[in-house]
Amino acid sequence: MKFFLPDSQDLVDPTFDFERERRSLTRQRQRDDLYAHEVFSTPAFDGFLVSKGIVDGYGAIGSRYTLAQRHRLQRLGAPRFFRVDRAQRPLKIMGDCGAFTYVQEEAPPYSVEEVLEFYEGSRFDLGVSLDHIILDYIPSADEPGAGKEVVPESLRNRQALTLELATEFLQKHKKGRYSFEPLGVAQGWSPKSYAASVKALQKMGYDYIALGGMVPLKSLEIRACLAEIDKVRHPATRMHLLGVTRTEHLTEFSRLGIASFDSTSPLRQAFKDNRDNYYSEDYKYTALRIPQIEGNPKLQRDISSGKVSQEHARRLEQAALEAMRLFEAGQRTVNQVVEILLEYERLYDKESKKDHAAAYTKTLTDAPWRRCPCEVCKTLKHHVILFRGAERNRRRGFHNVWTFYRQLQGLGLDTSVLAQESGPPARGLKVHARG
């Protein structure tokens, strides 16, 4: 089972000085910053998923790419743009349309021709057919005697349109002799409707099918859909789960035909989740919040209004950072550090009823970064556990991706199909410190 990491232009600056919190004056983002596969000396994923909606932007969801980056992607192609030659083994690049970006529209804003040209121009290895996502789940539609009125006509239209577009996509792919491998998209609102989509896609000629719209579903609902799909799935048909990560069920998913999946969860949990920010092999730890004064809008408002003294806030912020430095050096106890962290927390988050005391104590007592062998933890040390700024938070996300991939390998699922040879060593991640 292969793991594709969705691209959202997440890179880290190797020149960042964590003690002074400064960047090199000569740093150029596109040239110097590192993708996750350039950070680690062992594989962290099998490929990238690149969405047209993320590259181009649509509606309220703007592009994560600058105009120059979009031109660079089309001019150089994805392999050179992502510098996959620096990966530990070859990475596959899959393209999709990013149907979530236009979910509110009556129809996709792209033509099949535009999508084909985007995939081919970007030199992707795989390309997902143009689709229109369905986010409703109505299992009662599968019950005996259920009438058509159970499922809104708009959902039936989306499924029909997705299948029509898949037909056109495959026909024009063959006629145009495009080089990437095509995937058809199955959309549905129940186990049987998903199975019907898969059956139709196989009849068209697809042997690699992406399952869309399953992100909101519970694990039991996904399993029910996969079990129904398995009744009609040809032995040679591979399935891809779009945006779904359920580690505890991946072994079963594999038995039900899932050959690959993609998810941003390991990366995003590093800085989006309230508690599960740092992955270890058997536990998810809460990162220690020491927000920058300048990066905390609420604290900035309190300072501007005179409710909080900027000097006092700065003193507590620096005391928290110093406490962590001394803790790492063995000169502060867990209780001493927790007390200082909570004192700062009561200042920047007065109205919150969150109590991180127990979580912080667990994190500091176990100090999981000290026993992690990944390059991020070995170089950043305690900085990786600090919930503070994009450079620390994103590196923690990279660590999570690396750890998740190791967990995937531990399930006994084959993640080494793409290549057997190791690639070049990872580029360095430096931690600049005084003294």
Per-residue pLDDT averaged across 236-248, rounded? Answer: 89
Tell me which of 25-39, 102-116, 192-206 is least confident.
Answer: 25-39
Q: ∠ CA(316), CA(321), CA(322), 5° rounding? A: 95
Whether residues 406 and 358 fall in one domain: no
The confidence score (pLDDT) of residue 103 equals 92
Whether residues 201 and 338 fall in one domain: no
Of residues 186 and 429, the one with the higher pLDDT is: 186
Whether residue 196 lies inside any domain: the answer is: yes
- Confidence band, pLDDT 50/70/90 cuts, at residue 417: very low
Where in 39-142 does DSSP place strands (E)?
47-51, 92-96, 126-128
Residue 296, pLDDT above cutoff 90? no
Given a contact cutoff of 8 angstroms between Cβ atoms, the answer to whether 9 and 411 are in contact is no
Whether residue 419 lies inside any domain: the answer is: no
Per-residue pLDDT averaged across 299-307, rounded? Answer: 90
The confidence score (pLDDT) of residue 62 equals 77
- C-alpha dihedral sign at 49, 51, 52, 54: negative
What is d(CA 9, CA 72) in angstroms, rounded to the nearest whole number?
Answer: 13
96 annotated active-site: yes
Long-range contacts of 346-351 (CB under 8 A, 24+ apart): 347/299, 347/308, 347/312, 347/313, 347/316, 348/291, 348/296, 348/298, 348/299, 348/313, 349/298
- Pick from 146, 223, 221, 164: which is nearest to 189 by CA? 221
- Pick from 420, 433, 429: which is nearest to 88 by CA? 420
The confidence score (pLDDT) of residue 423 equals 36
The confidence score (pLDDT) of residue 413 equals 57
At a CB cut-off of 8 Å and minimum separation 6, what does 157 contact?
none
CATH number, domain with residue 36:
3.20.20.105
Helix, strand, or coil here: 260? strand
Whether residues 275 and 302 fall in one domain: yes
Of residues 424 and 60, the one with the higher pLDDT is: 60
- Pick from 19, 11, 78, 2: which is nearest to 38 by CA? 11
Whether residue 250 lies inside any domain: the answer is: yes
Using alpha carbons, list the distances in angstroms from residue 422 to 32, 42, 43: 23, 8, 9
The confidence score (pLDDT) of residue 249 equals 83
Look-up of token digits 């995003």: 268
- Confidence band, pLDDT 50/70/90 cuts, at residue 412: low
SS3 content of the chain, % helix, strand, coil (to 5): 50, 10, 40
Helices (H), 43-140: 52-56, 67-76, 78-81, 112-122
Whether residues 245 and 329 fall in one domain: no
Whether residue 422 lies inside any domain: the answer is: no
Percent of the chain scored above 90 by pLDDT?
79
Whether residue 257 lies inside any domain: the answer is: yes
Helix, strand, or coil here: 423? coil
Whether residues 58 and 203 fall in one domain: yes
262 annotated active-site: yes
Strands 2-6 and 238-241: unpaired
Q: 344-372: per-residue pLDDT in tens?
A: 999 998 777 678 999 999 999 999 999 99
Whether residues 15 and 55 fall in one domain: yes
Whether residues 93 and 136 fall in one domain: yes
Whether residues 111 and 143 fall in one domain: yes
Whether residues 222 and 325 fall in one domain: no
- Confidence band, pLDDT 50/70/90 cuts, at residue 170: very high
Q: Which of 10, 13, 125, 262 does the annotation list as catalytic?
A: 262
Whether residues 156 and 177 fall in one domain: yes
- Confidence band, pLDDT 50/70/90 cuts, at residue 245: confident
Whether residue 433 lies inside any domain: the answer is: no
Residue 435, pLDDT above cutoff 80? no
Whether residue 57 lies inside any domain: the answer is: yes
Whether residue 338 lies inside any domain: the answer is: yes
Whether residues 203 and 351 fall in one domain: no
Q: Which of 96, 125, 131, 302 does the annotation list as catalytic?
A: 96
Indicate left, alpha or beta for 330 from its phi (over 0: left) and psi (-120 to 50: alpha). left
Residue 418, pLDDT above cutoff 50? no
- Confidence band, pLDDT 50/70/90 cuts, at residue 279: very high
Whether residues 297 and 330 fall in one domain: yes
- Pick from 186, 193, 104: which is nearest to 150 by CA? 193
Using alpha carbons, list the distances in angstroms from residue 144 to 69, 150, 159, 185, 198: 53, 12, 21, 27, 21
* Chain mean pLDDT for the chain: 91
* Domain count for the chain: 2
* Parent domain of 46: 2-266+402-410
